[in-house]
Amino acid sequence: QLDTTYINSLLRYGNQILYTNPPKAEKLFLWTVDLADSLGDLRLKGSGLYGAGIAYTLLGKSSESIELMDSAGKVFLARDDSVRYYHSEFMKGANYDNLGHYKLAMEVNVDALAYFRRTENEDMISRTTNNIGNLLYHQKKYGPAIAYYTEAMRVGRKRGEKMIESVATANIAFCYAKIDSLDQAEGYFLQAYDFNLENEVLYVHGKVCAEFADLRISQGNFEAARKLLEESIEKASAVSDSAGIGEAWAVYGRLYLKLGEADKAIEYFQGALYLAERFEDAELAIDASKALSDAYGKQGNFEQAFTAFQKHIELRDSVYGREKDQQVAELISIHETERDQLELAQLRSEKELQDQVVR
């Protein structure tokens, strides 16, 4: 006989396997949504929607995750559950980031962070500050990003949140690598690498290895880079981390380009671009298409280089052009508001003048 105890046990099992087997967890959570619907239990339905939304995020299905988190948020609001509502908003922000909707992502994350600070929810403060760091990173604001990542790392360490501490530490390394502070980048990469292995934080380990390999390439240590990339693909494949595999393939492409093997580089860049588009990773798609164009150029295939570069421009404009469109729309809205206020003020002045004439 179906009851809430059974559905709760399914939800607990889904949470246990979420980071090791996201495809199975996704199916399990969606099943609990149907079961909760049959009982008319909104609390369990919201939990199932939320869990499935996280699974979709891990599988790179950001658009689907946003829909599920939006549905979960409505359920939480209906139950007057502000805490879980802002959890779902936080996850929407992470997925807006993946899709390149940076303005929407920042608005959602800032709003959620304000709530978590008011309620002193340190767990979600660490996660949300890390997300805001990601948004600043994508906008190439590496200094402010490091500040947010450092807060996320500190709070995560204080609470014993291994995943957050690992992710934030690695993200600090990514930032230092971008600003060519290679010694500091290496230090943080080594921290993240060792921490992941000691604490079995495998979900993010593939991406850490890939980015660490990229650093080794810039240092000219190609053999170390190759070993890290082999480890990256092994760990990412073990947890169905398609985004991690895509990152590793892109770095493999850069390695082969450095080694003068343009043909192999092209194969890996094509694979990275395919995964990026399939799993809606906007930043990886932009980077991989540009790298693919460069590789074709090295090969002397200028027609394909031009085609890949056009693809790069199209992808870049679809992300950053959208941000500009939003800014233009806001400016238009501000202008129209100011114009309306001016017209209203003129009408009031005219009426006051008429009243004075009548008197």
Output the tens digit of pLDDT for each of the chain's 359 residues: 568 999 999 999 999 999 889 999 999 999 999 999 999 999 999 999 999 999 999 888 999 999 999 999 999 999 999 999 999 999 999 999 888 898 999 999 999 999 999 999 999 999 999 999 999 998 889 999 999 999 999 999 999 988 889 899 999 999 999 898 989 999 999 999 998 888 877 778 888 899 899 999 999 999 999 999 999 999 889 888 888 899 999 999 999 999 999 999 999 999 999 999 988 888 899 999 999 999 999 989 989 999 999 999 998 888 766 554 454 444 334 344 544 555 555 555 555 555 554 44
- The reported pLDDT for the residue numbered 332 is 37
Q: What is the DSSP letter of 210?
A: H
The model's pTM is: 0.69
- The reported pLDDT for the residue numbered 348 is 56
Cα 328 from chain centroid (whole Å) = 25
Locate all alpha helices (DSSP H) within the chain, ordered by sequence.
4-17, 22-39, 42-58, 62-78, 82-99, 102-118, 122-138, 142-159, 162-178, 182-199, 205-218, 222-238, 242-258, 262-278, 282-299, 302-316, 322-358
Exposure letters 44-58 (e unless 16+ CB within 10 A, then b): bbbbbbbbbbbbbbb
